[in-house]
Amino acid sequence: MKKSECEKAIRHLVSQWADEVGVQPGQARMPSFSAFRSWLEQRGYGHYLSFRSEMGPLEDAEQWFDEELKQTWRN
């Protein structure tokens, strides 16, 4: 898959995951990218973490995760 397709899907899935586990964007408690990644794998969405990237797909996905949850201050 193309990186742009994966980005769109991951950003959408972050919202789904956050709703499911009760994470609010910008909250003080830091959401877990590892938990999100496990959630993706368990639901058959792990293929969205497989794309070509200079930084690496996991690093890009974690950045999108942080942006969607308004956690970029941690980076």
Q: Predicted confidence band at 23 (pLDDT cuts at 50, 70, 90)?
A: confident
The total domain count for the chain is: 1
pLDDT at 19 over 70: yes
Cα separations (Å) of 46 from 50, 51, 72?
A: 8, 11, 23
27 pLDDT higher than 70: no
pLDDT at 70: 86
Query: What are the distances in angstroms from CA 64 to CA 17, 33?
Result: 13, 10
DSSP 3-state assignment of 18? helix
Q: To the nearest whole number, what is the mean pLDDT of the chain?
A: 90
Q: 0.85 cut: is pTM over it?
A: yes
Segments forming the whole domain that contains residue 61: 3-74
